[in-house]
Amino acid sequence: MTIKKRVLTYLSVFTFIGAIALLVAPLNAQSATTTPVMYGTQSIGNLTDSAATGAVTSTDTVMSYTKQLVTGEVITGNVQEMSISKTVTTIMSGNNNLFVVSGGPIKILEITAYVSTVIEAKSCLINYNIDPTLPATDTPFATDTTALEINADAADTLYTWDGVIANDLTATTNGVALGVAALSGLIVPAGSIELAAVVSTSATGAITVYMRYIPLSTSSVVTAAP
């Protein structure tokens, strides 16, 4: 065999071995998990890395960053709209916690709610309330303490807010209404966003509140209240 043929033969063998190695070698998933991930054998959700939060850092693994992407919670230097929801399963008299704002202010773009379980047949008045960490002064969304009466409201009743702090919520019984943006947006500091209720002790039923917002800093985080 000539030298030229030998060289070509060796190259062919090495190319074949390299192709096989790529097919059978474990995929380096850049993950904190200790179990190797083979092609097609394990999903992202099975890896142990928790989803990253806030701005992406140099210490985030690819898996934590991917999980953050999947849940739609990546914050970069650019403005990005986000959304969150919370279901209140029993409406207590007073302030029912919905969302916790931490790390910096946010801008609320829209906040709507659906009755997910029929409301008990008794007087129950509701409105939203902003309870900042500082200053210690609440800001209710309502004309006064009468707010919106939801006595015996049926499932899928829709509650919307027109973006004016001084106005009451509006109920739409057929569950269909135009989206109402909060004008140029309502800036809210760190603290709590609450569903305030005036009711005798409590009312059964459930309301799911949905909020669209923009973080105003890479440290701003909104979580559903426990």
pLDDT score at 29:
45
pLDDT at 105: 96
pLDDT for residue 60 = 75
What's the Cα-to-Cα distance from 31 to each of 28, 44, 64, rounded to whole Å? Answer: 8, 10, 8
The pLDDT of residue 50 is 75
The rounded distance, in Å, linking the Cα atoms of 196 and 69 is: 33
CA distance 61 to 145: 49
pLDDT in tens, 154-202: 999 999 988 888 888 999 998 888 776 656 789 999 999 999 999 999 9
How far is CA 55 from each of CA 65, 100, 224, rounded to the nearest angstrom? 10, 18, 19
Per the model's pLDDT, the better-predicted residue between 65 and 152 turns out to be 152
- Confidence (pLDDT) at 200: 93
Per-residue pLDDT tens over the stretch 42-87: 555 556 777 776 666 777 777 776 666 655 554 545 568 899 999 9
pLDDT digits (tens, 9 = 90+) for 86-115: 999 999 999 999 999 999 999 999 999 999
pLDDT of amino acid 145: 61
Q: Which residue has the higher pLDDT, 220 or 39?
A: 220
Of 143, 182, 184, the closest CA to residue 163 belongs to: 182
Confidence band (pLDDT; 50, 70, 90) for 27?
very low
Checking if the pLDDT of 142 tops 60, the result is yes
pLDDT of residue 21: 53
Q: What is the pLDDT of residue 123?
A: 95
Q: Which residues of 176-187 are buried (b: 16+ CB within 10 A; e: fewer)?
A: eeeeeebeebbe
Residue 13, pLDDT > 80, answer: no
| CB-based contact 118:124 (threshold 8 Å) | no
